[in-house]
Copies of this chain bind each other. A is one copy, B any other.
Amino acid sequence: MTQPIDPLARLTQLWHQTIPIAAQMGIRALDYDGDTLVTGADFEANRNLHGTMFAGSIYSHATLTGWGRIWLALEEAGLQGDIVLGEGRIRYRRPVTGHPQCRCSLQAVDVSPLQQGRNLKIPLQVTLGDAARFEGQFVVMPQR
């Protein structure tokens, strides 16, 4: 399979090719303005028995959005690293009943620790409209 040039298409392809559950969720990168990443997911694939979005899928959607925002920052810096989640916290404020969209904003990321071969810690927030708010502590580890 050829690799798309557009970073959002590459990110979506990376998720679908390497994380089977992300493919099942229909996660995709929709928009990025250099600051905020917007992602979408299928609603039907992520239903629960109440007919709303499964709490686990909301969390996974948020986690992938934060991961993707960091992946874009590394791409921009021309750096490689393993992006892992150390800790996550989420509050559910109301049920998600339609097509979910998550947003994650990060301003300039100081990638100097990674350039020096050290771990880079990135705390971030992801929102799914006014339905859920996720806080994650990510770590980017230099690739050996």
Contacts and interface: CB of A to CB of B under 8 A. Distances in A.
Interface of A: 14, 18-22, 24-25, 44-50, 54-57, 59-61, 63-64, 82, 84-92
Contact of A90 (B14, B19, B87, B91): B87
Task: Please provide the 10 A-B residue pairs with the shortest distance between their CB atoms, ordered closest to farther.
Answer: A56-B60, A18-B49, A55-B85, A89-B89, A24-B24, A56-B63, A59-B59, A87-B91, A19-B48, A88-B90
B86 A19 contact: no
A49 B86 contact: no
B19 A21 contact: no
Contacts of A86: 91-92
Nearest to A95: B84
Number of identical monomers bound together in the oligomeric complex: 2
Given A14-B49, A50-B82, A82-B50, A88 B55 contact: yes
B24 A21 contact: yes
A89 to B, nearest CB: 4
A105 to B, nearest CB: 20
B49 A20 contact: no
Nearest to A89: B89
B19 A45 contact: no
A88 B59 contact: yes
